[in-house]
Amino acid sequence: MATASAMLIVRVIPPAHFSSSSFSSSSSSSSFQAYPKASMDNQTPPTNFNAPINIPHSQKWTIPLNYSFLPTSLPADPQISPLNEEMDNKYEYEMKILKHLLSETAKNGSLEVLNMIDGIQRLGIDHCFKEEIEAILKEQYTIMATHHYFDTKCSLHEVALRFRLLRQHGYFIPSDVFESFTAKNGELNKKVFEDIEGLTSVYEACQLCLPGEEKLEIIGEFCGHILRTQIRNLENGMAKHVGDTLTNPFHKSLAKLFIKTHFGFKATNKWIFAFQKLAKLDFNRAQKSYQHEISQLILWWKKTGLSEELKFSRHQPLKWYICSLVCLGDPKFSEERVELTKSISFIYLLDDIYDLYGSIEELRLFTQAIQRWNLEAINSLPHPMKFCYIKLYETTNELSHKFSLKHGWNPIHCLQKSWTSLCEAFLVEAEWFASGHFPSAKEYLENGEVSSGVHVVLEHTFFLLGQGINNKTLQLLDTNPAIVSSTASILRLSDDLGSAKDENQEGYDGSYIDYYMKENPEISVDSAQQRVNHMISDAWKRLNQESLSPNNPFPETFIQASQNMARFVPVLYGYDENQNLPTLEKLMKFVLYESVQI
C-alpha cells in the first residue's frame, strides 16, 4: 500500500507511482539460491548490491536481491559439521573458570561485579551466566532497597551502571538516585563535568527512562550535550567508547551487531578482554547452529514451491531468518527460530499480494477467506492467492499441532486471529489507496501498527517460547497490549521517518508525516520529523515501563524478544547515501558467515 509496509519490509529502491488499484504480477525476484560449497572456500560473499533489478510497480521498496544471495551451505555440506570435542572441551573449561571468577568478584566488590556483568552483556554471552547474573542483581537490589536506594559514597559511574543493569533486568529503581549529582535546575552539577566515564554511564542509564520521568530525560540530554562537546579532547580509546555510546546506546542497540568491535579492541571495561575467549568460542558454536537452521529453511522454502507460484513477490529467506534470530537470540532457541522464520515469510508474501497482485474485490474475498479459515473459502480466488492461502493454512496448522503435542494446548484460534487482523489492516490500506482516501494521522498510525506485522511476529514468538501461557496473557494478547503496540509504533514511525528523510523518492506518499502535515499545513518537515522522533522516544518509554511493571504477566524471554525487535529497527532503516543498508549487510555476513579466530 501507499500507506504502510509490513513487518521488516525495508525500503531501499524508489518505487514507481501506482496508476490503478489492480496491480501487475510481473516478477520482482527469483527463488533463494544456495551457493555451491566451492564458493565458500576462502572467498568473501558477493558485495555488489547495486546491480540493476527488475522490480514491480510498487509503493514498497525492497532490499536489493543480492542481500539474499549470501553463500549458504546445505546440510550435506561438510562445512556444517558438528562441534569437535576439542572445541567443546575448551568451551566448558573457559565457562567453568569464568563462572568461578564471577562468583569470587561478587564477593569482593560491588562495582567490579557490575563492570563484569556489563562486559558479559556487551560480548553477547549473558545467556551463559543467566542464573549467576540474576542472583547477583537480586542481591544488589535487596541491598539498595534496604538503604532506600541511596549511597553517597558511590561514584556517578557506579550509581548509573547499577541503575541501568537493575532496570534492564526488571527491577524498579527510582530515578532520584541521581539527585546527589544534580543542581536545583535538574541538570548535573559542574563538579561531574570532567567525569567522562560517569557521564557516559548516565547517558546509557537514561535510555531506560519511563513515562513521566522528565528530570531523568533532561539529565540524559544534558549528558549527551557535554559528551559531544568534549569528545574531541579525549584519548582514542575513550573517544571511541563515548562516540559508540552516543550513536548506539546499549539498551537500544543489538549486542550481536557490536560484538565484533570488542574482539581485539582495547575496551575501557577491562572485563571485556577477560571474557573474550569464551565469547569467541560461543560465537563460533552458535554460528554453526545458525548455518544449520538456514539450511533447513532453504529446503523448506524450496519444498513449498512459493517462489515458483508467487513470482511477483519477494523471496528472501535469509533476511526473514535474521529477524527471528534477533527476536530469539539465545542459541538454545534453534527450533523456535526456524518455525518463526516460516511465519515471518508469510507476512511478506501477504503484503505483496495486497500490494502487487490482487484487485480490490479479490483482496476482499481473500480477507474473508482468512477470516473463515476454511479451505473451501478460496474457490473463487486466482491461483497464486489460493496457493499462498493453502501454504499459510498448512504451515500455521502444523505449528499449532507441534505446540499442542509439546504443551498440551492448541493455539490455532489465536494465531488465526492474528493473521486475520493483519490482512484486515492490509485491506484497509488497499481501500484507502484505491479510493484516494486520506486518513487522519491518528487513523493511519492505529492501522499502521497492525499492518506492520509486529503483533503477528510477537504472538508466534510467545507461543513458540511456551512460557507464561494462561488466561490472563491470552486475553492481553488479544487486545494488542502495550508491550506489542509500543514495539509496533517504533517500527512504523521509524519506517515513515526513514522514508521522509529520503530525498530521492518519486511518487511515494502515505507516511505519518505526510498525513500530519496535511492536517497541519503550517508545520515544516523538520518540525514534523521532530514530532515523530519524540513519538518514537515515548514509545520506547512505554516499552521500558512494560518490562518493569509488576502487573506485566509476560515472561522475561518474551519481553526481551519485544525489546530486541525494537532494537532491530535502526538496522532496518540505516540507509547510506546510495539507499543501501550497510549495517544489515554487515550483520548478516558477520553473524552467519565470518567465523572468529580464537
Cα–Cα–Cα angle for 46, 49, 496, nearest 5°?
A: 135
What's the pLDDT tens digit per position in 100-139? 999 999 998 789 999 999 999 999 999 999 999 999 999 9
What pLDDT is recorded for position 5?
A: 44
In this structure, the number of other CB atoms found within 10 A of the CB of residue 590 comes to: 17
**If you average pLDDT over residues 514-542, what whole number do you get?**
97
572: confidence class by pLDDT, cuts 50, 70, 90: confident
Domain ranges of the chain: 37-78+280-593, 126-274
One-character DSSP codes across 288-354: HHHHHHHHHHHHHHHHHTHHHH-TTS---HHHHHHHHHHHT-STT-HHHHHHHHHHHHHHHHHHHII
pLDDT higher than 50, residue 577? yes
pLDDT higher than 90, residue 404? yes
pLDDT higher than 70, residue 509? no
What pLDDT is recorded for position 261?
A: 83
What pLDDT is recorded for position 110?
A: 84
State the sign of the Cα–Cα–Cα–Cα dihedral 244, 246, 248, 249: positive
pLDDT higher than 60, residue 49? no
User: Please, what is the average pLDDT of the chain?
Assistant: 85
- Report the range of poorest mean pLDDT among 159-173, 263-277, 491-505, 545-559: 491-505
At residue 424, the 3 state secondary structure works out as helix
Q: Cα(290)–Cα(209) distance, rounded to whole angstroms?
A: 34
In the structure grid, which three cell numbers stand for residue 591, read together?
553473524
Q: Cα(512)–Cα(493) distance, rounded to whole angstroms?
A: 7
At residue 188, the 3 state secondary structure works out as strand
What's the pLDDT tens digit per position in 463-478? 999 999 999 999 999 9
Three-class HEC string of 148-165: CCCCCCCCHHHHHHHHHH
At residue 18, the 3 state secondary structure works out as coil
183 vs 293, residue with greater confidence? 293
Residue type, 31: S
**If you average pLDDT over residues 297-304, what whole number do you get?**
97
What pLDDT is recorded for position 148?
A: 64
Classify residue 357 by its DSSP letter. Answer: I
Q: Which single residue is written with the C-alpha cell 580464537?
A: 598
23 vs 481, residue with greater confidence? 481
- Report the range of poorest mean pLDDT among 62-66, 430-434, 525-529: 62-66
What's the pLDDT tens digit per position in 67-107? 444 444 444 344 444 557 888 899 999 999 999 999 999 99
Q: Cα(13)–Cα(367) distance, rounded to whole angstroms?
A: 28
CB within 8 Å of 131: residues ≥ 6 apart: none
Q: Which single residue is written with the C-alpha cell 542481591?
A: 139
What pLDDT is recorded for position 263?
A: 83
386: confidence class by pLDDT, cuts 50, 70, 90: very high
Contact between residue 598 and residue 83 where contact means Cβ atoms under 8 Å apart: no
In the structure grid, which three cell numbers stand for residue 25, read together?
504480477
What pLDDT is recorded for position 316?
A: 87
What pLDDT is recorded for position 164?
A: 98
41: confidence class by pLDDT, cuts 50, 70, 90: very low
What are 188's strand-pairing partners? Answer: 182
pLDDT higher than 90, residue 160? yes
What pLDDT is recorded for position 138?
A: 95
What's the pLDDT tens digit per position in 201-239? 999 999 999 999 999 999 999 999 999 999 999 998 899
What pLDDT is recorded for position 56?
A: 36
In the structure grid, which three cell numbers stand for residue 386, read together?
489460493
Burial tier of 502 (Cβ tally within 10 Å: 0-12, 13-18, 19+): middle
- Rounded to whole angstroms, the maximal C-alpha distance in the chain is 75
Contact between residue 457 and residue 323 where contact means Cβ atoms under 8 Å apart: yes
Residue type, 561: A
What's the pLDDT tens digit per position in 307-358? 999 999 989 899 899 999 999 999 999 999 999 999 999 999 999 999 999 9
What CATH topology corresponds to 37-78+280-593? Farnesyl Diphosphate Synthase (1.10.600)
What pLDDT is recorded for position 309?
A: 96
16 vs 498, residue with greater confidence? 498
In the structure grid, which three cell numbers stand for residue 58, read together?
510498487
Nearest to 574 by CA among 566, 585, 582: 582
CB within 8 Å of 456: residues ≥ 6 apart: 7, 343, 347, 418, 419, 422
CB within 8 Å of 430: residues ≥ 6 apart: 1, 21, 354, 355, 358, 360, 363
Highest mean pLDDT pick, 3-17, 142-156, 341-355: 341-355
**If you average pLDDT over residues 396-424, what whole number do you get?**
97
CATH number at 126-274:
1.50.10.130
**If you average pLDDT over residues 542-546, what whole number do you get?**
97
Count how many residues are written for the chain. 598
407: confidence class by pLDDT, cuts 50, 70, 90: very high
